[in-house]
Structure 1
Amino acid sequence: MGAQLGKKFFSKRPVYWTVILLLFLALIFSLLFAVTIGSSDIPFKDVYHVVFYKLFGIGDAAMGEGKIHDVVWFIRLPRLVLAAAIGMSLSICGVVMQAIVKNPLAEPYVLGISSGASLGATLSIMLGVGITFGSNYVGIMACLGAFLISIGVVALANIGGRATSVKLLLAGMALSSLCGAFSSFIVYFSNDQDGMKTVSYWMMGSLGGASWENNAVVVPISILGVLFFWTQYRTLNLMLLGDESAITLGTDLHPWRQLYLLVSSLMVGFAVYCAGVIGFVGLVIPHVVRMLFGTDHKKLVPLCALVGAIFLIWADVLCRIIITGMELPIGILTSMIGAPVFIWLMVRKKYGFGGKES
Structure 2
Amino acid sequence: MEKKKRSLLVKPCRSPLLFPTVTAGMFLLLLISVTLAVMIGPVRIHPVTVWDIAISQILGGSADGTTAQQTIVWEVRFPRALLGVIVGSGLAVVGTAMQALLKNSLADPYIIGVSAGASVGATLVILLGAFSLLGVYALSAAAFIGALSAVLTVLLLSHIRGHLSPVRVILAGVAISAIGSAITQLIVITAKNEAEIRNAMFWLFGSLAGAEWTSLSLPSLVVIAGIVYLYIRHRSLNAMLLGEETAETLGVATRWFRVEIIVASALLTGIIVAVSGPIGFVGLMVPHMVRPFTGSDHRRVLPVSALLGAMFVIWADVLARVAIAPEELPIGIITALCGGPFFIWLLRRSSYTFGGDDR
Q: CA deviation at 1:105?
A: 0.7
CA contact (8 A) 2:106 2:343 kept: no
Which amino acid is the alignment partner of residue 81 of structure 1?
L
- Give the 5 Å matches for 1:306-321: 306-321=307-322
CA distance 1:46–1:180, change in 2 (3 Å): closer
C-alpha separation in 2, matches of 1:46 and 1:245: 55
Task: Note the 1:332-347 alignment, pairs <5 A.
Answer: 332-347=333-348
Number of residue-to-residue matches in the alignment: 348
Q: Which residue of 2 aligns with 1:13?
A: 16
Range 303-312 or range 197-206, more displaced = 197-206
List runs of 5+ in structure 1 lacking aligned partners. none
Instruction: Return the alpha-carbon distance in structure 2 between the equivalents of residues 158 and 226 of structure 1.
Output: 26
Paired with 1:174 and 1:341, the residues of 2 have a C-alpha distance of: 21
TM-score between both structures, scaled by the size of structure 1: 0.84
Q: Aligned partner of 1:205: which letter?
A: G
Runs of 5+ consecutive residues of structure 2 not aligned to the other structure: 1-6
- Note the alpha carbon deviations across 1:147-174, whole angstroms, 9 max, x for none: 44445556x4799996846587676555
Matched position secondary structure for 2:39: coil
Is 1:46 matched with 2:49? yes
Structure 1 position 261 matched with structure 2 position 262:
yes
Tell me the alpha carbon deviations over residues 186-205 of structure 1, each in whole angstroms, 9 at most, x when there is no partner. 44555776554333211111
Equivalent positions of 1:13-92 (< 5 A) are 13-57=16-60, 60=62, 66-92=67-93
Could you list the per-position Cα deviations for residues 107-134 of structure 1 after superposition, in whole angstroms to 9, with x for gaps in the alignment?
A: 0234432121221233234434345555
Work out whether 1:245 is the aligned partner of 2:249: no
Q: Distance in 2 between matches of 1:351 and 1:299?
A: 23
SS at match of 1:119: helix
Question: 1-side partners of 2:327 and 2:175: how far apart?
Answer: 37
Query: In terms of mean alpha carbon deviation, does 71-80 or 286-295 score higher?
Result: 286-295
1:189, 1:32 → 2: CA distance?
42
Secondary structure at 1:241 match in 2: coil
Alpha-carbon distance in 2 for matches of 1:152, 1:118? 15
Q: What is the TM-score normalised by the length of structure 2?
A: 0.84
CA-to-partner distance for each residue in 1:170-219, whole Å, 9 max, x for gaps? 76555444433433444455577655433321111110111112222222
Cα-to-partner distance string for 1:211-255 (whole Å, 9 max, x where unaligned):
112222222221221121111111111111111222333433111
Aligned match of 1:118: 119
The corresponding residue for 1:326 is 327
Deviation per CA, 1:277-326: give whole Å up to 9, x if none.
10010001111112333322121111111111111111111111122211
1:343–1:163 Cα change, 3 Å:
closer
Q: Which amino acid aligns with 1:183?
A: T
Find the residue that maps to 1:201 and give its secondary structure: helix
2:17 aligns to what SS in structure 1?
Answer: helix
1:278 corresponds to which letter in structure 2? I
CA contact (8 A) 2:207 2:330 kept: yes
